[in-house]
Structure 1
Amino acid sequence: MLEPKMAASASRAKDFCQEMFEKVRPLRDAEMTRLAGRKAASGEPGGLHAWDLSFYEDMLKREELDLDDEHLKQFFPLESTIDQMLEVYSQFLGLSFQRNDSLPVWHEEVVAFEVLDGTAVVGHLFLDQFPRDGKFGHQMILPLAPCFTDGADCCVPACVNVSNLSRPEGGKPALLRWSEMKTLFHELGHAMHCICTSTRFSLLSWAWPMVPWPGGVEQDFLEVPSMALEKFACEPALLARVSRHVRGETIGEGTLVKLQEQDKWMKGIQESRFFAMALFDLEIHSRAPPYAFDGDENLTMQQLLDKIVTKYTGVPPIPGTHPAASWYHMVIGYDAGYYGYGWSDVYAADIFDMLLHSPEGLLSPETGRRLREAILSPCASRSGNDMLTSFLGREPSTEPFLRRIGAVTEATSR
């Protein structure tokens, strides 16, 4: 099942989850100690339970970062924020986005863009931003047309960003929460991957498991470009560029620093939880029940989940709950593939670290051209590992990811 992916085998994917967990475990332990201390300071008896984690994470974040989400979203009016995001991608990737109201759309609220490289149309981007009955309830990119060539004819790729953002009301602009803004950067990263694809065959163009036709990059590489480009959202200089208060004020430097801190808030706990679920997914798809884990045999699926989660997060799950029963990734093509999010994020951090430390600057068109040529344009015509080593000039490393989340420092990573 994993042979067509970068990991190539379940054992390699499991090793990745276990090795990454061991590397983030010290950070997780330090964060758990902080949460336990905050609980004790509140006068609550006993150690930490599963239901304590989010509560005390949020309490500490409010106390230490003091970020007001309702105030913060005033800096992200939807229309101007999207315009600035597209400007960022335009400068970096050498593209231009021209709104074209003559393109056919399926609803009056959908906005259509022609995407040009110089004078040549290389793709189409549609933004379907607001909720409607029967519409998918989150944000995602869906391909509408693949890329392929047939002799002298070329079909350029097209995709849509499906969102469910708040509409403008009472003459006031729609506003994005911080999390929505970051997700939008991520999804537009997928869109850039789709639009920059240049392949001969449609089977090799951009797609993902939820799409009802075959194609696309290896599943555990799918998120690499979008996760790398998403990290633009947390860089103070770029964040200042895309943000603008509804009254025209700029976002303060102190707030920019706090947003960077928020991005890695309790990452040790978060990543440990992720690797627990990723390993559980791999275990249940590697053999029929009963299962075995850490020397325990004859485990039911629930017992397996409890043991993995307890080891990786440091606290047992809430009794009587069955999170695997409502885990929708298992029915949209990510069965035995959930690890791919973490796999992609690790290598995305390596790409972004190179972008961040480029002598030409973060948004250097030259670096963007190299990213297009090495990572975005080939899509599935090259393996993920080949594309990574081509862009990086070396084998990928986990160190930039670990530095980014605070699991290692610059000094200890050398």
Structure 2
Amino acid sequence: MPTESPIVLPVSANELQSVLAQVEAILTQAADAVVAVPASERTIESTLFKLQEAQSKAAALQTVCTFPSLVHLDKSVRDASNEAKKALQQAWSRLHSRRDVYDVLKALDNGSTTYDPATARLLEATLKLFERNGSGLTAEKQQRLMELRAEIGRLELEFQKGLNEDTSEVLLTRAELEGCMDSWIDGLGTTTSTAPDGSSTVLYKVTMKTPDILNVTKNASLPSTRKRISVSYRQVCGRGNGEIIEQLIKRRYDAAQLLGYPNHAAYQLDINMAKNVETVKAFLDNILGSIKGKLESDKQVLLALKKKEYETRGWANEFDGRLYTWDVKYYQEMLFREQYAVDHTALQVYFPLDYVREQILGVYSKIFGLRFQQIPGKYWADDVMLFAVYDQHAQNEAETSGHPVDPEKFKIGHFYMDLHPRAGKYAHQCVVPLRPSFVESEEHHQVLPIAVNVGNLSRGTASNPAMLKHAEVRTFFHEFGHVCHALSNKCRFSIFNFSWSAVPYPTKLAMDFLEVPSIMLENWLWEPEVLKRLSKHYKTGEVLPDDIIQALVRTRKVSAGLNFTQQIAMTAIDQKLHTLNPYEDKRSVPEIWKEMYEDIVGISGEEGEGVNQVAQWYHFAMGGYDACYYVYAWSEMHAHDLYTRFKAPAGSSEPSRALDSKLGREYWEKILVPGATIDALELLKDFLGREPTPDAFQRYLTEP
């Protein structure tokens, strides 16, 4: 039976190279064509629009070159993809460094008010790209900038490759894994250690991938086990990626200086909602001031639990009155169990992955008016799934006319799900836009967008299905919000689509708005009605009981002061490393991390040979989050504001509007569909019906 797959990954490095050559040729030929237009015939249509359409076609093709680095089963293709991404980054950089093309487009920017708002926005965004690639610099400085950009791209990909290809593991006995779920332990790889006397011991292989790290840090009752895993994780790629980080900081600083910015953070923030470093600093200081009391209270609660456990287990002599990073998640889980009757590990039985996935699609279908149809087939890995997405709301409206309707006319895109870890695969959670939406003028049709949800959720075992913790369900729900954002766009040009730098083509979507829609949707995972819908005991079929739901909802703010402070500490470190002068500040990255983290959070971190906390931090090294880690807290602020329209008023008997299809559709149309065709602030104002405020976020931070 034939199958439909809108994206077919290359089977060899040679095939990948062929597509790379096509993409490079499209960009070069488009730039040459713009310059070749006679001066008297240079119009927006003959230059800017033609260039943008060519970039959209190149963006649609580039997936074959770049995406395999994250997921391909063949290491040779992954390696070739990493090299291809370097080449594409340079190709896009070369395009936007073309001074002759810039001069043609700049001449169109004559201050005329005759351009419609969409055209004016496109021209402004395009000129900004050229200027950020040095087209306004001297030829000598621009050449140096291009060299730096190439070096930065190479370093970022080397960082990613190091983590993706890492196979580090720690061997532990079952006794050392005391407290962890048997079903998880049974799913680990094993080896056997033979003692001199001939006796053998089974050793379990704990990888440095997210599911294993979380299982140990949350559940392993022996401090020595948690510490060993925590330190080992911080040593992953510590030397190689540590050196890359030091070089990245310098090269980013150098590039920013060439462009006239004081530092890399200033360069990054210039095109974001926040605009400057000072705004971000004030924002972070305000949060820290608001939650200072909660931070200290949260730490004392966890410390009391630690002291009690040490006394109960006969370890009183080892209690030193301090919290360590490997204590936090473990004692938070203990707090949930003992004071809130919530055992996150035990709750997994109510969240079997297959059922959760089906229900998440159902919730999004209801609130946004969509329909998801799975397309059976074999894709780049056996467990990858493909879905077509239809605008059911629009189809329903069309059907009211009484005329026959072709459902295919309401297809809005496709998405894949690649949810489980495997060797060589990207080791975190993300959504990658595989193809942007744009108008193909020659064929007169809208090219539909494609996205993929790349996850690292635990697999099932021979005896049990894959099951998720509530936090994993929340992450899954969040990431699917990005999928919907990517598929909602119907833009004429790719530059206005949802995107992030897993793909090299540029877009105008502000980095500090990118996370807002999905973080807002995380609120659904604290709504009793939604929790009931998503839960189903994998054996009995029972939904999550009401009393457990109520207890789970009460845990939302447990340790919120500590959790937010940890996030803000990482944000402050990110800002510090991207604002300092790396040639004057001689401290190492681990030294700066230790000093700032312990000063802000007041918890001791990992130490030892090869420990480097930034060496595993994708956000710092790549993905466009460099100097932009603040976007998560910033997005929380706007997300809480947006959610005021869905949340039942305080003290009201009115039900939540979380599953209100009319309001959900309004959110789809006003927040998601426009993409970057409208400034993020205007999108917020349109949906809220007022200016955005931090009031709801402040209440969340400070109220019990």
User: Is the TM-score greater than 0.5?
Assistant: yes
Of all paired residues, the percent bearing the same amino acid is: 33
Equivalent position to 1:91, from 334, 343, 366: 366
The two structures, once aligned, show a CA RMSD in angstroms of 2.5
Distance change (3 Å), C-alpha of 1:173 and 1:48: closer
Provide, for residues 232-287 of structure 1, a one-character-per-residue CA deviation record: whole Å limited to 9, x for no partner.
11211101011111221121111112222333220101111111111121122113
1:127 is displaced (CA, Å) by 1.4
Please identify, of 325-334 and 74-83, the stretch whose mean Cα deviation from structure 2 is larger. Answer: 325-334
Residue 309 of structure 1 pairs with residue 583 of structure 2: no
Residue 324 of structure 1 pairs with residue 617 of structure 2: no
1:290 is displaced (CA, Å) by 7.2
Residue 101 of structure 1 pairs with residue 376 of structure 2: yes
Residue 375 of structure 1 pairs with residue 671 of structure 2: yes
Tell me, in whole angstroms, the C-alpha distance in 1 between the residues paired with 2:356 and 2:328. Answer: 33
* Partner of residue 75, structure 1: 350
Q: Which amino acid letter does the alignment assign opposite residue 269 of structure 1?
A: L
Tell me, in whole angstroms, the C-alpha distance in 2 between the residues paired with 1:69 and 1:186. Answer: 19
Tell me, in whole angstroms, the C-alpha distance in 2 between the residues paired with 1:32 and 1:170. Answer: 40
Which structure 2 residues correspond to residues 216-231 of structure 1 after superposition, within 5 A? 217-231=509-523
State the TM-score, normalizing by the size of structure 1.
0.88
Name the SS for the 1:287 alignment partner.
Answer: coil
Which structure exhibits the higher relative contact order, with contacts defined as CA atoms closer than 8 Å and separated by 6 or more residues?
1
Q: Is the 8 A contact 1:280 1:305 kept in 2?
A: yes
State the TM-score, normalizing by the size of structure 2.
0.54
* Partner of residue 28, structure 2: none
Which structure 2 residues correspond to residues 83-232 of structure 1 after superposition, within 5 A? 83-101=358-376, 105-117=379-391, 118=395, 119=407, 120-151=410-441, 152-170=444-462, 172-215=464-507, 217-232=509-524
Distance change (3 Å), C-alpha of 1:109 and 1:53: closer
Tell me, in whole angstroms, the C-alpha distance in 1 between the residues paired with 2:320 and 2:382. Answer: 56
Q: Is the 8 A contact 1:282 1:336 kept in 2?
A: yes
Q: Is the 8 A contact 2:273 2:510 kept in 1?
A: yes
* Partner of residue 564, structure 2: 271
Equivalent position to 1:256, from 549, 570, 578: 549
Name the SS for the 2:453 alignment partner.
Answer: strand
How many aligned positions are there? 402
Q: Which amino acid letter does the alignment assign opposite residue 518 of structure 2?
A: S
Provide, for residues 1-55 of structure 1, a one-character-per-residue CA deviation record: whole Å limited to 9, x for no partner.
2101111111111111111111111211221232344445455555434345445
Provide, for residues 378-408 of structure 1, a one-character-per-residue CA deviation record: whole Å limited to 9, x for no partner.
1111222111111112222323234335x22
Equivalent position to 2:642, from 344, 351, 358: 351
Residue 361 of structure 1 pairs with residue 622 of structure 2: no
Name the SS for the 1:97 alignment partner.
Answer: strand
Q: Is the 8 A contact 1:77 1:244 kept in 2?
A: yes
Tell me, in whole angstroms, the C-alpha distance in 1 between the residues paired with 2:456 and 2:592. Answer: 36
* Partner of residue 335, structure 1: 626
Q: Is there any run of 5+ residues in structure 2 with no aligned partner, and where?
A: 1-266, 396-406
* Partner of residue 32, structure 2: none
Tell me, in whole angstroms, the C-alpha distance in 2 between the residues paired with 1:72 and 1:136. Answer: 27
Provide, for residues 68-116 of structure 1, a one-character-per-residue CA deviation record: whole Å limited to 9, x for no partner.
34431221122221111111111100111112226x8333432211111
Residue 392 of structure 1 pairs with residue 688 of structure 2: yes
Q: Is the 8 A contact 1:208 1:216 kept in 2?
A: no
Tell me, in whole angstroms, the C-alpha distance in 2 between the residues paired with 1:379 and 1:220. Answer: 13
Which structure 2 residues correspond to residues 272-287 of structure 1 after superposition, within 5 A? 272-287=565-580
Q: Is the 8 A contact 2:508 2:676 kept in 1?
A: yes
Tell me, in whole angstroms, the C-alpha distance in 2 between the residues paired with 1:53 and 1:80. Answer: 30
Tell me, in whole angstroms, the C-alpha distance in 1 between the residues paired with 2:366 and 2:691. Answer: 28
Tell me, in whole angstroms, the C-alpha distance in 2 between the residues paired with 1:336 and 1:87. Answer: 36
Tell me, in whole angstroms, the C-alpha distance in 2 between the residues paired with 1:134 and 1:304. Answer: 31
Tell me, in whole angstroms, the C-alpha distance in 1 between the residues paired with 2:284 and 2:343. Answer: 34
Name the SS for the 1:381 alignment partner.
Answer: coil
In terms of fraction of residues, the more helix-rich structure is: 2
Tell me, in whole angstroms, the C-alpha distance in 2 between the residues paired with 1:171 and 1:55. Answer: 26
Name the SS for the 1:396 alignment partner.
Answer: coil
Q: Is the 8 A contact 2:446 2:490 kept in 1?
A: no
